[in-house]
Amino acid sequence: MSDVYPHTFRTSVQAIDASHPLQTPWHYDVSITGPRLDRLEAKAAFYADYIEYLERRIAALEARLPA
């Protein structure tokens, strides 16, 4: 990551956690598992998008290397 935004990734993950709060106690309540699954799906989607971004960024940087 750039030095300008050193904690962008961590901040994004924390935002996902904040938008999908976990409820306790667990007690096998279906209404409690929903936020956990939403959080997992949101993080998985974010990670997939972030990996795609990194792949594009690496390709762009490799293209700038002298031949």
Chunk the chain into consecutive blocks of 10 residues (it has 67) and report each block's average pLDDT, rounded to whole numbers. 62 78 60 67 86 91 87
Amino acid at 19: S
Q: Is the peptide bond before 25 cis (omega within 30 degrees of 0)?
A: yes
Range of the domain at 39: 29-66
Which pLDDT value is given to residue 22?
65
Q: Does residue 44 fall inside a structural domain?
A: yes
Q: Does residue 16 fall inside a structural domain?
A: no
What tokens were used for 30?
């279906």
Q: Does residue 43 fall inside a structural domain?
A: yes
- Alpha helices, H only, the chain: 8-19, 30-64
Q: Does residue 59 fall inside a structural domain?
A: yes
Which pLDDT value is given to residue 1?
43
Q: How far apart are CA 64 and CA 33, in angstroms?
A: 47
Which pLDDT value is given to residue 31?
59
Q: Does residue 3 fall inside a structural domain?
A: no
What tokens were used for 52?
């795609």
Q: Is the pTM of this model over 0.85?
A: no
Q: What is the domain count for the chain?
A: 1
